[in-house]
Chains A and B, each alone.
Chain A
Amino acid sequence: MRRKSHLRDSIFLTSLFTIIGILAVFFPLSYFLTTDLTQDNARDYSRQLLGQIKNSIEFYTEEMIMISGYLADHPDVRVYLEGENPLAPSSYSLYQQRARISSELKAISGTRQDLVNIILFREDGDFITNREHAGLTPYWDYREFDWYQETVAAKGLPRLSSSRVENVIAGEHRWVVSLSRAIYDQDHLLGVLLIDLNFQTIADICSNLSGQNGAYVFIMGANDELVYHPQQRLIYSSVKSERFDLVRRSEAIESVIRDGIIYSSVKIKSADWVIVSVTDTRQMVQVSPLVIVTYIGIGLVFALIALVVSLLASRRLTEPILALKNSMQQFQQGDFNAQAQITATNEIAELGDQFNSMTQQIKTLVEHERLIEEQKRKSEIQALQSQIRPHFLYNTLESIIWMASSGEQDKVVEMTSSLAKLMRASASKAREMVTVQMEIDTVSHYLRIQKLRYQDKLQYEIEIDPEVLLARMLRLSLQPLVENAIYHGIKPLRDGGLLVIRAYRAGSELLVEVADNGVGFAPDALHASLEASMDEGESIGLHNVHNRIQLMFGKEYGVSVRSAGPGQNVLDQSDFDPAAGIRTIVSIRLPLVFE
């Protein structure tokens, strides 16, 4: 059996999956758009932040460069660096110069708390600092330090160090960023100037301005070493790592986004430092399971709404179709009054209207057909009925002629009287159906006529159950059977025969039997008598009655014949007195109807 698929289910599923499909596209799309937007905002913010930090740091580095330039060109410094050993007792003016330079350095560092040390090294090892009592460490020779040698090699250009621990001052280890500058007279090295900026200043700038939303800032020096990183110690020991490959050494701010992390970098103007801000947007857009679950939850609510909506939509669409289908089934089962009740106003309603008018038309057509059919049947029945009259009349009239010619006056009168009554009874066209009583009366007239003709050769008995006297049967349906029994059963007998008419009720049926003890039927003759056409002479009567009954009441009713056949004495299966010697029974079977 083919699996039934329903239109409603298809509509429901289609709209449901369409809506779910749209949701499935819409949510990720809006999620990614939000993510992108957040990322753009975060990038703008990080660049802004980076600009601020760059400005702050440049403020300090440029100030140091400015101070170094100022001091390098200072006449007193020049004289001091070019002069004789100031410790030589004779040079009083040089001692004064030392004092002037020292107070100048103090004045400069006094205005800037961030400047820890300003030290002027003379090429011969002498030095002046901004700090009254600070001495150089005895454990190291500063001239062997890398920074010193690189500064000398830089030929007068300022050099900004990475973050470092200052170790030239005895007993002090401070984190600083140093600006150093060699002072030359043409190619002759006069000395080196060292300015130490408290590293805390730089660290504070970086840590104060970052710190929101997991963003942080770090600084890379000239040799890719870390000047500042909030997790410097973890990076050194590889507990943490940093994407140094994403750092761009550019004077303009450049941003690289990798795996949701924004790396914005910019090189500061006056030195080879790159400031990098790292913003983790993954925390901002919260790719947390919570958000995903929330999104799915909202999606589910929408999907449920979609379910209900598609349910309603599919019902709204298919209900009129179902109504139409039901009406069609009703119609198919023969109810020509079936009308589709469709309340909608769309194409389906149009379809329903057309169905309705179609059933109306078919109903009219069928009605018309039935009328025609009925008409035809009636005319057929009448045709069959009228066949009886001439056949019988000839026989009777011949008998009357015969009796009249032999002068049997009484018999002529009786026969003519009976014929007249019979003719009156059968000539009435008023009703197709008559009572059993009336039909028996009619047949009695006929039998009287025949009795007059055959005298003792014909004996007859009529046994009618009073219960069925008023039951209805076809007019002139009994007479042909009686005629048939007389002509085919009794007439061939030399010594005459007995005819019995019985009418009784059998359940809901009326049985009228005409039995005789005549010669009987051969099975072939019997068959022929029922199926014969109207033109075929003698058994026409039986056939006509059978057809009339079937036309009137249907195929389950009609005439049946039971006969013992020629040469056989006993008719089985009948409740007639065996002494009577009944050999043929012709029965009319009719529905028991009392009008």
Chain B
Amino acid sequence: MQKNVNRLFLFYWPWLLIGLAVSALLTGLYLPLRHTPFPYRIIAVGKASTEGIAFWYSIAEGMAAAANEFKVTVDYRSPVDESEVDRQIAIVYEAIAEKPDAIILAALDADRLVEPARAARAAGITVVMVDSALADVDKSPQQSFIATNNVLAGQQLGELVLQRVRPGAQILVVSPSTRGDSLIGRETGVRAVIEDAFDVLPTLDTGGQLSDDIYHQVSQALTEHPEIKAVVCLNEYTTAGSARAIRGLSLTGKVTLVGFDSSEELIDYLEEGLLSAVVIQRPFNMGYLSVARTIDLLNGRTIESFYDTGSIVITKDNIYTGENQKLLFPFEN
């Protein structure tokens, strides 16, 4: 009988062992899986407030859409306007202290935001850039960048000037800042197209402030350089300020204005003819994709280092067509 018991164990042991091994394996799989339902917490640090600035409003809207779809939380923060680099740096450090899973950042200053981004990475936080990247992309702490290809968008602006202005004319380029990566890219693109064909003045850097100040600076430039035939603006409020300056100096029709981004005010100028054309971005897509790709990264997937969300040329004739309507008139949902 003893012999039989021994043989019994010899025969059934392997089965029991296999059963135990599979159980252990399944438990090993089960435990990590149980943790996935906890939502990721993402803090987005933009360049400017969503209030009154359609571009940032749409970015935040896109982020919210993605947050809703992928069941994560996205908290949008920013300085009031784009002149406050120090404030943005402080916001990033505050965000790091809250230990989110990821920070989505639109750098106001391509160089000065590198340090805060490094600190975030050092704290184990995923860093994805939106709209404006950090300098020195190869060594920078950013893990991906979702934006308009600003050099291409700048080239589109340049083409608009080429189509509308007699060669050799004097051209003024107006930029709110020469530090932001997106603006540097646009200026590079514009200049690459128009530099040879025109007399391009040194870029007017308006210092990041809002329209009123720009109005004065552009008016002054137009007065000082009466030969200017076209003004190329690199963002929304420099375009608005320049438009007001041109109208203020009664130069409508004499100075061609091309700008970047859109607003209710700019659409009025487009319909009126004061503004010849704008190149617009897809801020909603930018916001949406920045969150979607960040989640991909957090989930351990490999993603590209850059995603181009594209840019579109808007003139009076195509304001009310399909996608353009949605881009130019983002409504609240």
Which residues of A pack against B, CB within 8 Å?
9, 12, 16, 137, 139-140, 164-165, 167, 171, 173, 175, 199-200, 203, 207, 225, 230-234, 236-237, 239, 288-290, 293-294, 296-297, 300, 303-304, 307, 311, 315, 322
User: Which residues from 273 to 323 on chain B have a C-beta closer than 8 Å to any C-beta of chain A?
Assistant: 273, 282, 284-285, 288-289, 309-310, 316, 319-320, 322-323
- CA A144 to CA B273, docked complex, whole Å: 18
**B97, CB-defined interface residue at 8 Å:** no
- Which 3 interchain pairs have the tightest Cβ spacing? A236-B323, A139-B271, A175-B331
Write the chain A residue with the least CB distance to B271: A139
Chain B residues, CB < 8 A from A288:
33
- Contact present for A139 and B264 (CB under 8 Å): no
- With A and B bound together, what is the CA distance between A297 and B288 in angstroms? 38
Task: Judge whether B15 and A307 touch: CB under 8 Å.
Answer: yes
Which residue of B26, B284, B329 is within 8 Å of A175 (Cβ)? B329
Min CB–CB distance A194 → chain B (angstroms): 15
Closest-by-CB residue of A relative to B331 is A175
Dominant secondary structure of chain B at its interface with chain A: helix
Bound complex: CA A139 to CA B26 (Å): 69
Report yes or no: B267 in contact with A290, Cβ–Cβ below 8 A: no
In the bound assembly, the distance between CA atoms of A298 and B7 in angstroms comes to 30
A/B interface sample: 8 pairs, CB < 8 A:
A139-B273, A233-B62, A233-B327, A234-B288, A237-B285, A237-B309, A300-B26, A322-B4
A233 CA / B16 CA spacing, docked (Å)? 57
Contact partner of B19 (CB less than 8 A), chosen from A207, A234, A304, is A304
Supposing A173-B264, A203-B333 touch, asked if A164 and B325 sit within 8 A by C-beta, the answer is yes
Pick the residue among A233, A294, A303, A307 that contacts B284 (CB under 8 A).
A233
Q: Which of B1-40 contact A (CB under 8 A)?
A: 4, 8, 11-12, 15-16, 19, 22-23, 26, 29-30, 33-34, 36
Instruction: Please measure, in the bound complex, the distance between the C-alpha atom of A290 and the C-alpha atom of B31, giving whole angstroms.
Output: 9
Q: Is B190 interfacial (CB-CB < 8 Å)? A: no
A307 CB to nearest B CB, Å: 6
Are B26 and A296 in contact, CB atoms less than 8 angstroms apart? yes
* A289 to chain B: closest residue by CB: B33
- Partner of B322 from A16, A137, A225, A294 at Cβ < 8 Å: A225
CA distance A164 to B11 in the complex (A): 77
Are A239 and B289 in contact (CB-based, < 8 A)?
yes
- List chain B positions with a Cβ less than 8 A from chain A: 4, 8, 11-12, 15-16, 19, 22-23, 26, 29-30, 33-34, 36, 62, 65, 264, 267-268, 271-273, 282, 284-285, 288-289, 309-310, 316, 319-320, 322-323, 325-329, 331-333
Known: A225-B322, A233-B62. 20 other contacts (CB 8 A): A9-B11, A139-B272, A165-B329, A167-B319, A173-B329, A175-B329, A199-B331, A203-B333, A233-B282, A234-B288, A239-B288, A290-B34, A290-B36, A293-B33, A294-B30, A297-B23, A300-B23, A303-B19, A307-B15, A307-B19
Q: Is the CB of A207 within 8 A of B309?
A: no
Q: What are the residues of chain A within 8 A of B65 when measuring CB–CB?
A: 230-231, 234
Report how far A107 CA is from B15 CA in the complex, Å: 84
Which residues of the other chain, B, contact A311 by a CB distance below 8 angstroms? 12
Given the interface pairs A234-B285, A239-B285, the reply to whether A300 lies near B310 with Cβ below 8 Å is no
Task: Looking at the assembled complex, report how far the CB atom of A468 sits from the nearest CB atom of chain B, in whole angstroms.
Answer: 48
Once bound together, how far apart are the Cα atoms of A293 and B36, in whole Å?
14
B36 to chain A: which residues have CB within 8 Å?
290
Question: In whole angstroms, how far apart are the Cα atoms of A288 and B22 in the complex?
Answer: 19
Are B326 and A236 neighbours in the complex by a CB distance under 8 Å?
Answer: yes
Q: Which residues of B contact A239 (CB under 8 A)?
A: 285, 288-289
Q: How far is the CA of A54 from the CA of B332 in the complex (A)?
A: 22
| Contacting residues, chain A, for B310 (C-beta < 8 A) | 237
- CB-based contact B333/A207 at 8 Å: yes
Kindly state the separation between the CA atoms of A12 and B11 in the bound complex, as whole angstroms.
11
Specify which of A139, A203, A290, A303 is in contact with B33 (CB 8 Å cutoff): A290
Kindly report which residue of chain B lies nearest to residue A294, judged by CB atoms.
Answer: B30
Contact B11–A297 (Cβ < 8 Å): no
Q: Please give the distance in Å from A571's CB to the nearest CB on chain B.
A: 58
Residues of B within 8 A of A203 (CB): 331, 333
Q: How far, in angstroms, from A278 to B283 measured CA to CA in the complex?
A: 26
In the bound complex, how far is the Cα of B309 from the Cα of A236, in angstroms?
Answer: 12
Contact A237 B323 (CB under 8 A): yes
Complex partner residue of A236 from B4, B316, B322, CB under 8 angstroms: B322
Chain A neighbourhood of B22, CB < 8 A: 300
Identify the interface centre among A139, A140, A233: most chain B CB within 10 Å of its CB. A233
Residues of chain A within 8 A (CB-CB) of B320 are 164-165, 167
User: Complex Cα distance A186/B66, Å?
Assistant: 54
* A293 touching B285 in the complex, CB below 8 Å, given contacts A232-B326, A237-B310: no
The reply to whether B323 and A233 contact each other, CB–CB distance below 8 Å, is yes
Shortest beta-carbon distance, B85 to chain A, in Å? 30
Q: Taking A137-B271, A173-B267 as contacts, is the C-beta distance between A297 and B325 under 8 angstroms?
A: no
CB distance from B164 to the nearest CB of A (A): 19
A459 to B: closest C-beta gap in Å: 69
CA distance A57 to B331 in the complex (A): 19
Q: How far is the CA of A200 from the CA of B332 in the complex (A)?
A: 8
User: By the criterion CB–CB under 8 Å, are A165 and B333 in contact?
Assistant: no
A300 partner residues in chain B, CB cutoff 8 A: 19, 22-23, 26
| CB closest chain-A residue, reference B282 | A237
**Chain A positions within 8 Å of B323 at CB level:** 233, 236-237
A315 CB contacts on chain B under 8 angstroms: 8
**Assembled-state Cα–Cα distance A231/B323 (Å):** 12
- A307 to chain B: which residues have CB within 8 Å? 12, 15-16, 19
Is the Cβ of A297 less than 8 Å from the Cβ of B329?
A: no
User: Is B272 in contact with A289, judged by CB distance below 8 angstroms?
Assistant: no
CB distance from B8 to the nearest CB of A (A): 8
Smallest CB gap from A315: residue in B: B8
Task: Provide the residues of chain A in CB contact with B264, threshold 8 Å.
Answer: 173
Report the separation of the CA atoms of residues A289 and B25 in the bound assembly, to the nearest whole angstrom: 13
Instruction: Give the complex CA separation of A139 and B269 in angstroms.
Output: 10
Give CA–CA (A200, B15) in the complex, Å. Answer: 65
